[in-house]
Chains A and B, each alone.
Chain A
Amino acid sequence: MEKVTLTIDNIKVEVPKEYTILEAAKAVGIDIPTLCYMKSVNEVGACRVCLVELQGARGLQASCVHPVAEGMVIKTNTKKVRDARKATVELILSNHNRECLTCYRNKNCELQSLAEELNISEIPFEGEKTGGQIDALSHSIVRDPSKCILCGRCVNVCRDVQKIGILDFTNRGFKTEVSPAFNKSMDEVPCIYCGQCIVACPVAALREKEDIERVWDAIEDPNVHVVVQTAPAVRAALGEEFGLPIGTRVTGKMVAALKRLGFDKVYDTNFGADLTIMEEGHELLGRIQNGGKLPMITSCSPGWIRFCEFNYPEFLDNLSSCKSPHQMVGAIVKSYYAEKQNIDPKKIFTVSIMPCTSKKTESSRSEMNVKGLRDVDAVLTTRELAKMIKQARINFTALEDEKFDQDLMGEYTGAGVIFGATGGVMEAALRTVADVLEGKDLENIEYNAVRGLEGIKEAEVTLGGNTIRIAVAHGTAMAAKLLDMVKTGEKEYHFIEIMGCSGGCVTGGGQPQVSAKVKMDCDLRLERAKALYEEDTVMEARKSHKNEMVQKLYADFLGKPNSHKAHELLHTHYVAREKYGAKTEAVHSAHHDAAATRE
């Protein structure tokens, strides 16, 4: 690797010649502020917060995009630099909706932190505010243009990383707004609600549709029995909200907190994951043995499901008909659990804590019910759970570990836990399918070929004399790439796992906000997944079919996997969706209300 030497703040730095000034400075511990910059997502030099003085250059340079060169002399902390950065942020603040005290991102906002770090104590340029209506029509994502600072991170993550392109810069000048086409609501566009735009947003311009109050109300109501479940990925990230290092596994504290919040029962979605494997594994075996539609594709990720419905409707029959694990748990709570506990299912309120914003929309799908009762009544993100814990003034980090409720649905295996990372569902399925096909309890159960962050992972496994070709894709861009290869016949598989978000659920759109600065050195996907693989190794049972409570559920209630009853409760169907249906007209275009003001 070719290297160059330069001087930053009188420190000699030797770095690869592909580095930017920002990266070179970071290499020697010099912290240049940034705002629009987001490593490998948004490197555009738009906000001008990262300006530095480069000897010989005309004017200050944006360090996030300026490549290094031999002999460069850079100053990052001169009066000129400080004044310019400050003025830039003051200008951004001048038209920003500064309701920080009541803002969703209060104390968790990159703009707010920057204002503090740059010692901004007044707004010298008071002027017109950025306008626009709040769009809260979808079940998942709220867009508030008054908070938007036009950094473009969401635009790029949606268009270039996910390759969907719901959001873009529209209109011009002061009226520039990041919005969907025709300023449509997020409810009327082919958005999959993955929420990657939310975790990219430095401010509160994009956030989840909050549902905390409805959950508090259910807890408060003595006539309502509230059952909560937590997805595997939540435990790998919740601790970050309370200052714990990224990748800290907080399963026990999370359960303790949920019990203190007043939930009547605390279960793990992993029970549903194990159940999913039983259903999905047998569905796969059935399809292979009976000449069913292949490849079969997993259906746990509602973002992926919507992506498929909008963009690849020809693959709808390839999707496993299994509901996602938390929907299964919801359905079982309102049937089996209600029966066993002798509780009227109408009086049960089910809450799912998810790393995901798309789950909110999934749970509201009309198919997701049992005899007219919603499988899941409310979905909260990891962030919303953290807000509830803070509201209840629970000292999270000091909590003693507690266990999930142990009755009926209280057991889970290591196979369920790893659902939260890309490749996890595949690995869990293989552990079970292998045992079934081989007819024995296999010991070698770690499938490393499907782990890790490669965009598309492929493997061939020989099970009971059958060769099974599998593939794993995460992030919709990779999903599209994989499906295109299947479509052309270039690749053939039996079984494919797809997750809507890169990294899988651990980096879902409902997970804690992590600043772009931290993301510069830390791959969240890796760190959080480690926590899950760690939990897998400490579990006694690591295969879904070894889950005794799942076995009992079948024996006492469902019969066998893919039984009629199982189909009624645990399976679903999908619909092809038209992108930008013609029914909705342009809500409003700034083009039209360009009042006759002087330009």
Chain B
Amino acid sequence: MPKEILTKENFQKLEVVIEKNKGKKGALMPVLHEGQKIFGCLPLEAQKRISEALNIPLAEIYGVITFYSQFTLEPKGDYTIGVCMGTACYVKGAQKIIDRIKKEANVEVGATSPDGKFSLEATRCIGACGLAPVLTVNEDVYGRLVEADVPGIIAKY
């Protein structure tokens, strides 16, 4: 089960962050960054509080969050799988890799598996074209993949 993130403690931490940045120019970005660290994502309830405290419309905050790919609306899994979809990886069959991961880990692109274990992301070029096609699981890198490698990698976690 995904962890409970809307805890009193987390909201208290958020208040501290808001207090630190309130009134400063460009307060929104640092608050969102810190907020994401606290909650693991930026859920509606956290955004509502930020909107109220900084007097910025919720739509604007949501707009900023969905603009930057580093922000996320839903909690990430314990392991984030990033499959490179850069040109080299793509022509070397990254689509097949990603499709297999979806099946093996029961997770959609941009989402988290129901057990909260894996998040799957299609990334831009990660600069390891020599290893194409390549994927990362948190800090681990797996290169020169074929589709059949996927179950083994998933099983490690």
Query: What is the interface of chain A, defined by CB distance below 8 A to chain B?
Result: 159, 164-172, 179-182, 189, 579-580, 582, 585-586, 589-599
**Docked CA distance A589–B71 (Å):** 13
Whether the pair A592, B60 counts as a contact (CB closer than 8 A) is no
**B126 proximal to A (CB < 8 A):** no
Structural contact, A165 and B85, CB atoms closer than 8 A = no
Tell me, rounded to whole Å, the shortest Cβ–Cβ distance linking B94 to chain A: 8
Query: By the criterion CB–CB under 8 Å, are A592 and B58 in contact?
Result: no
- Asked if B57 is an interface residue, CB under 8 A from chain A, the answer is yes
In the bound complex, what is the Cα–Cα distance between A166 and B72 (angstroms)?
A: 21
**Docked-complex contact B62 and A172, CB < 8 angstroms:** no
Is B21 part of the contact surface with A, judged by Cβ < 8 Å? no
B48 near A580 with CB under 8 A, answer yes
* Given A167-B59, A181-B58, A599-B124; A172-B44 close (CB under 8 Å): no
Which of these, A166, A592, A594, contacts B57 with CB under 8 Å?
A166
- A168 touches which of B62, B69, B74, B122 (Cβ 8 Å): B62
Closest to B122 in A: A596
- Would you list 26 pairs from A and B whose C-beta atoms are within 8 A, ordered by A residue? A159-B57, A159-B60, A164-B57, A165-B59, A166-B59, A169-B63, A170-B59, A180-B59, A181-B44, A181-B57, A181-B58, A181-B59, A181-B62, A579-B58, A582-B44, A585-B44, A591-B66, A591-B110, A592-B110, A593-B110, A594-B122, A597-B85, A598-B87, A598-B90, A599-B85, A599-B124
B157 within 8 A of A: no
Query: B47 contacts the other chain (Cβ, under 8 Å)?
Result: yes
Complex alpha-carbon distance, A554 and B68, angstroms:
63
Q: Decide: A590 and B85 in contact? CB cutoff 8 A.
A: no
Q: Nearest chain B CB to A113's CB is how many angstroms away?
A: 29
Residue of A nearest to B85 (CB): A598
Chain A positions within 8 Å of B90 at CB level: 598
Interface majority SS (helix, strand, loop, mixed), chain A: loop
The answer, yes or no, to whether B109 is at the interface (CB within 8 Å) is yes
**Could you tell me the distance in whole angstroms from the C-beta of B126 to the nearest C-beta in chain A?**
13
Contacting pair A170 B63 (CB below 8 A): yes
Give 13 A-B pairs besides A181-B58, A182-B44 with Cβ atoms closer than 8 angstroms.
A165-B58, A169-B63, A170-B62, A179-B59, A181-B61, A580-B48, A582-B44, A592-B111, A596-B83, A596-B95, A596-B98, A597-B85, A598-B85
Q: A287 to chain B: closest CB distance in Å?
A: 32
Report B88-122 CB contacts with A as 1/0, cut-off 8 Å.
00100001001100000000111100000000001
Q: Which residue of B lies closest to A592 (CB)?
A: B110
Beyond A580-B48, A594-B122, whether A171 also contacts B60 by CB under 8 A is no
Taking each of B45, B63, B90, which has the highest tally of chain A beta carbons within 10 Å of its own beta carbon? B63
- For the complex, give the distance between the alpha carbons of A189 and B111 in Å: 25
Point out which of A590, A591, A592 has the most chain B C-beta atoms below 10 A from its C-beta.
A591
Main secondary structure of the interface of B (DSSP, over half): helix
Bound together, the chains give a CA A598 to CA B109 distance in angstroms of 13
- CB-based contact A182/B122 at 8 Å: no
CB neighbours (8 Å) of A599 from chain B are 85, 122, 124
Interface size on B, residues (CB 8 A): 31
Residues from 52 to 88 in B contacting A, C-beta threshold 8 Å: 56-63, 66-67, 69, 72-74, 83, 85, 87
Please indicate the chain B residues that have their CB under 8 angstroms from the CB of A181 in the complex: 44, 47, 57-59, 61-63
Contacts of B59 in A (CB 8 A): 159, 165-168, 170, 179-181, 189
Whether the Cβ atoms of A170 and B66 lie closer than 8 Å is: yes
Taking a contact as CB atoms closer than 8 A, the residue among A165, A171, A585, A598 that contacts B66 in the complex is A171
Q: Are B109 and A168 in contact (CB under 8 A)?
A: no
Given the interface contacts A171-B66, A580-B48, A598-B90, does A586 sit within 8 Å of B57 by beta carbon?
Answer: no
- Could you tell me the distance between the alpha carbons of A172 and B71 in the complex, rounded to whole angstroms? 13
CA A179 to CA B69, docked complex, whole Å? 18
Q: What B residues does A167 contact at CB under 8 A?
A: 59
Of B57, B61, B74, most A-chain CB atoms within 10 Å: B57
What is the number of contacts between chain A and chain B, taking CB atoms within 8 Å? 84
Distance in angstroms between the alpha carbons of A159 and B45 in the assembled complex:
21
Instruction: Tell me the B residues contacting A by CB distance below 8 Å.
Output: 44-45, 47-48, 56-63, 66-67, 69, 72-74, 83, 85, 87, 90, 95, 98-99, 108-111, 122, 124
**From residue A589, how far is it (CB to closest CB) to chain B in Å?**
6
Note all chain A residues with C-beta closer than 8 A to B69.
172
> Is the CB–CB distance between A580 and B58 below 8 Å?
yes
Pair A168/B57 contact, Cβ less than 8 Å: yes
Give the complex CA separation of A591 and B110 in angstroms.
Answer: 6
Q: Across the interface, do A592 and B44 meet the contact criterion of CB distance under 8 Å?
A: no
What is the CB-to-nearest-CB distance from A178 to chain B, in angstroms, rounded to a whole number?
9
User: Distance in Å from the Cβ of B111 to the closest Cβ of chain A?
Assistant: 5
Q: Which residues of A sit under 8 angstroms from B56, Cβ to Cβ? A: 165
Task: Name the 4 nearest CB pairs between A and B, nearest first.
Answer: A165-B57, A168-B59, A181-B62, A168-B63
- The docked-state distance in angstroms from the alpha carbon of A599 to that of B62 is 23
Q: A159-B57, A165-B57, A586-B44 are in contact. Are A594 and B110 (CB under 8 A)?
A: yes
CB distance from B118 to the nearest CB of A (A): 15
CA distance A165 to B64 in the complex (A): 14
CB distance from B90 to the nearest CB of A (A): 5
Partner among A164, A171, A594 whose Cβ is within 8 Å of the Cβ of B109: A594
* Minimum distance in angstroms from B131 CB to a CB of chain A: 18
Taking a contact as CB atoms under 8 Å apart, the answer to whether B57 and A171 are in contact is: no
Given contacts A166-B57, A586-B73, contact A182 B62 (CB under 8 A): yes
Contacts of A169 in B (CB 8 A): 63, 67
Question: A189 to B51, alpha carbons, bound, how many Å?
Answer: 14
A593 to nearest B CB, angstroms? 7
In the bound assembly, the distance between CA atoms of A171 and B67 in angstroms comes to: 5
Give bound CA distance, A165 to B54, whole Å: 14
Shortest C-beta distance, A243 to chain B (Å), equals: 37
- Minimal beta-carbon separation of B36 from chain A (angstroms): 14
Chain A positions within 8 Å of B109 at CB level: 594-596
Knowing A164-B57, A165-B57, A181-B58, the reply to whether A596 touches B66 (Cβ < 8 A) is no
Q: Which of the listed residues A170, A171, A596, A599 has the most CB atoms from chain B within 10 Å of its own CB?
A: A596
Contact check, A582 vs B45: say whether CB atoms are below 8 A apart: yes
Residues of A within 8 A of B67 (CB): 169-172
**In the complex, which residue of chain A has the Cβ closest to the Cβ of B90?**
A598
In Å, the complex CA distance between A579 and B129 comes to 48
Q: Give the CA-CA distance A582 to B44 in the complex, in Å.
A: 8
Q: Which of B44, B56, B58 has its CB near the most chain A CB atoms (within 10 A)?
A: B58
